[in-house]
Structure 1
C-alpha cells in the first residue's frame, strides 16, 4: 500500500529548474561541508485495525486458524530518523556521502494485538521493544548528473521504498539521475537488496517464496513539455519475478486565478518471468483522475481498471510501487479484472483563517473482481484531518487523524475499520 505518494509532476518541475547550457549544479558546488544538511524526523504512530469478520490474532482452538477470539490489532510506537547529506567536493567531479540512522521504540502492543506492521517479531512471537538501523551511500556528481551507490530511499514508479509505518524501507544498490537538459530528468539503477519497514537486516523483503529480491534493474524519464503538461515513463526488470512498464501523463488546465482542472493518467503492465516467484503475473492496470480546484476546495473523480490473468502485483520491488489513483489507505483496488470508482473532497482551511488545517473525505467502490468463489466487490470510506503548526519553536509539527472503513463481499478481504493517529516533527539541524 502506498500512502505517501511522490508526485511525478513535482519531479518534473524540479528537473525544469536546471538551466541548459548554463552553470551546472557541480559548477556551483560550495564544498563537502559547506553544502551539508542534517535533518531529523520524529514520528509517533498509533494504529488500530478492527477486523469485523474472518481475521484475528489468537485462535479459539489454539491451532492458529479461524475462528479467532478477537480481530482487534493495536500498535503504538515512536520512531526517529536522522538523515545526513553532505555537499559535493569542488572540481569537475564532486564526491559526497549520505548517511542515516533510525530506530523505533514500542509504546504499546503485545503479542495478542500486534500485526499492523509497526514492529518486528521476536522468536517467542512477541513484538520487538526497540529496533535500529544505520546505513549510508557514496555519491558522485558530474555537471548535473549524480551517481549514488549504497543504502538509499527510492521513489521511482517501478521501484519505490515505502514509508507508511514507523520506518521507511531501505534499498541497496546504484542509482544514476541526470538533469542535463532543461525539463528532462533521466534515471537508471540496479538494486540488489531491500530491507522492510520492520526488518533491520540488509535484505529482509520476501516475496511469496524465498529468497526475496535478488536484483531489480530500473530506468525512467520525466519530461515537462509545457508549464502545464508533464509526461513520464519507467520500466523495471525484477530478476525471477516479473518485468514492469509504467506511463504517466499529468495536465493542468488553469481556468481562473483560483480555479484549475487537473488530469492525471497512470498505467502499468506487468508480466512474470524466470522462476515466477510471484506466481503467474499477467496484468494491465490504469487509473485516470480528474480534479477540479476552486479556492479552498478540490473535487476529484477517478476511475481505475485492471485486466489480465492476475491482479497487479508489487512488494518485492518496494511497498510503495503503486502510483495509482485508487491506492488508498487500506485497499489498492487492484484485484484481477477489478473496476473501481472514486469520489474525493479536499478542504484547505487557510482560506477561512486557519492556515495549516486541512480535511479530506473519499469513497472508493470496486467490483467485477475475479475470485475462486465468484465476483468480489469492495468499498472503502476514508476520512483524514491534519494540522501543521505554522510558526514558533514547534513550527512544522503536524497532527494527523486517518480513518478507513472497509467492506468486501465474497470473502475477498476481511471487513476492517482502520484508525491511525500520526504525529510528526521534522527538524533541520544543519
Structure 2
C-alpha cells in the first residue's frame, strides 16, 4: 500500500507539473520590455511618541517625547523575462528620504539614522538590484530584494524599507501550491544606506550583538479549497536560532455578506544559550527557546468585522526576532507598539473594523483594538502586565488624478506595570502617513 500510495502521489505531481507547464508563465512571456513595470511610491510620515510619567526620551535622554517628519520615495523597476525556455530579467530599486522636522533632542523614532554628532541625518538613500531567471512557473532571484516570509520578513513600517541581499526561489508549478527556498547574507536596516547586516540581538549592556551571517529559509503554502489554506516555514539563522512556523486559515461562509474566519499561527524557536543575549527574565537564563502561538476568530457582517484573539508565549525566554527581519512575527497580537511575546505571557485581543463603502464612502475605513497581556515571568519583580489600545483610520482616493492617494492616521496608548516597565515606558504614539503610489510603466 505504501508503494502504491507514493506512486500515486508522484504521478499526481508529475501530471500537475505537466498540466501547468503547458500554460506556464514563461510560455506567456512578452519579453524583457514587454512585461516591464516602473513604479514610484512617495510617502510622508509624521511620528510622535510622547512618554508619560516623567520618563525621558530613551534615545536622547532629554525631552519626554520623540518627533520626526520626513518624505521618502521608492522607485522600483521590474523587467519582464526574455522569451525562450529559460527567461532572464533584471530588477532595480532606488530610494531616498529627506528630513522635514526632528532635532537631536527628539530623535529615536527610527525614521532617520544619526550622524557622527548624534543628530538625525538630513537625507539618506540607497540603491539595489537583482538578476532573475524563470523556468516554467519557477523563478530564481539573486540580489537586493524585499522578502515576506513568516521566518524572514523585511520591514516597511517607517520611511524606507529594510532590504535583504541573497537568493530566493519561488515555485508555483502546481495549482494552489507555492514553494519558497532562499539563502540571505545581509539585511540593511531601514535607516541604513549600505548593505551591512542589521545589528544582532543586544547584549547585557544594551549594545548590538553580532550581526546576521547567513540565514536559510524554506516555506510552503497550499490552498486546499477556496476557503481553507495552510502554510509551513522554517529558517536557520547562523549563530542564533532555528525557527519553525505553521499557519491554518479557514473562512466559513454563513450568508451573503456574512462569514466567520479562523486564523491559527504558531512559532517554535530553538537555539543555544549565548552570553551576548539580553536576559529578559533577569535570572541568568540566556536561552532563546520559545513557543509562540495565536488563534483569532473574525466575524464579518456587511461593513462590520468583529475579531477576538488569544496569544500565548512560553519557553526559556521571550520570542526573539529582528536579526531575521523586523517584520518576522506573524501572530495576532503583534500590533503598533507591543508584540505581547514576553516569557510565559498570555494575551487577549478585541478588535472592531468598519468599512464605510457600505455607507456611501468607498475608500474610508476605521479600526480599533484593545490587547491585554499578563502572566509575564519577570524574575525578582513579580508578574508583568501590559495593555495597548489602538485607533486607526484610512482613506484611499478612489478615482481621478489622485487615484490611490491614501491618508492614514494611527494612534496607540501603551501601558505596563512596574514589573514590566523595562520593556517600554508608558507612551502615546501618533502617526500620520500619506502615501501615493504611481505606475509610470
- TM-score normalized by structure 2? 0.90
Unaligned runs of 5+ in 1: 1-15
Q: How has the CA–CA distance of structure 1 residues 236 and 249 changed in structure 2, closer, same or farther, with 3 Å as cutoff?
A: same
Are residues 1:175 and 2:168 paired? yes
Are residues 1:314 and 2:321 paired? yes
Q: Summarize the alignment of residues 382-393 of structure 1 with structure 2, pairs less than 5 Å apart.
A: 382-393=390-401
Deviation at 1:71, TM superposition (A): 1.5
In 1, Cα distance between the equivalents of 2:22 and 2:303? 39
Structure 1 residue aligned with 2:415 = 407
Q: How has the CA–CA distance of structure 1 residues 204 and 111 changed in structure 2, closer, same or farther, with 3 Å as cutoff?
A: farther
Are residues 1:82 and 2:75 paired? yes
Structure 1 residue aligned with 2:147 = 154
Unaligned runs of 5+ in 2: 1-15, 203-207, 278-285
Structure 2 residue aligned with 1:239 = 238
Q: How has the CA–CA distance of structure 1 residues 389 and 276 changed in structure 2, closer, same or farther, with 3 Å as cutoff?
A: farther
Structure 1 residue aligned with 2:389 = 381
Deviation at 1:55, TM superposition (A): 4.1
In 2, Cα distance between the equivalents of 1:220 and 1:180? 15
Answer whether contact 1:240 1:274 (CA < 8 A) is retained.
Answer: no
- 1:110 maps to which of 103, 106, 118: 103
Classify the secondary structure of the residue corresponding to 1:112. Answer: helix
Classify the secondary structure of the residue corresponding to 1:350. Answer: helix
Q: Which has the higher contact order (CA 8 A, sep 6+)?
A: 1
Classify the secondary structure of the residue corresponding to 1:255. Answer: strand
1:331-379 residue CA offsets vs partner (Å, 9 max, x unmatched):
1001110000000000000000000000000000000011131211000
Are residues 1:189 and 2:188 paired? no
Answer whether contact 2:158 2:190 (CA < 8 A) is retained.
Answer: yes
In 2, Cα distance between the equivalents of 1:53 and 1:333? 22
Classify the secondary structure of the residue corresponding to 1:175. Answer: strand
In 2, Cα distance between the equivalents of 1:380 and 1:346? 17
Classify the secondary structure of the residue corresponding to 1:301. Answer: strand
How big is the alpha-carbon RMSD for the aligned residues of Structure 1 and Structure 2? 1.7
Structure 1 residue aligned with 2:221 = 222
In 1, Cα distance between the equivalents of 2:268 and 2:310? 17
Deviation at 1:398, TM superposition (A): 0.2
In 1, Cα distance between the equivalents of 2:328 and 2:433? 22
1:65-112 residue CA offsets vs partner (Å, 9 max, x unmatched):
xxx553110000000000000000000000001100000000000000
Answer whether contact 1:24 1:144 (CA < 8 A) is retained.
Answer: yes
Structure 1 residue aligned with 2:359 = 352
Structure 2 residue aligned with 1:295 = 302
Are residues 1:166 and 2:159 paired? yes
Greater gyration radius: 2
Structure 2 residue aligned with 1:324 = 331
Structure 2 residue aligned with 1:72 = 65
Structure 1 residue aligned with 2:4 = none
Higher helix share: 2
Classify the secondary structure of the residue corresponding to 1:20. Answer: helix
- 2:436 maps to which of 410, 425, 428: 425
1:297-327 residue CA offsets vs partner (Å, 9 max, x unmatched):
0000000000001010000000000000000
In 2, Cα distance between the equivalents of 1:400 and 1:228? 30
Are residues 1:397 and 2:408 paired? no
Are residues 1:130 and 2:138 paired? no
Answer whether contact 2:273 2:288 (CA < 8 A) is retained.
Answer: no
Task: Compare 369-378 and 49-58 and name the one that shifted more.
Answer: 49-58
Structure 2 residue aligned with 1:211 = 210
- TM-score normalized by structure 1? 0.92
In 2, Cα distance between the equivalents of 1:420 and 1:210? 30
The count of aligned residue pairs is 407
Deviation at 1:280, TM superposition (A): 1.7
Deviation at 1:287, TM superposition (A): 0.3
1:224-261 residue CA offsets vs partner (Å, 9 max, x unmatched):
01111000000000000000000000000000111000
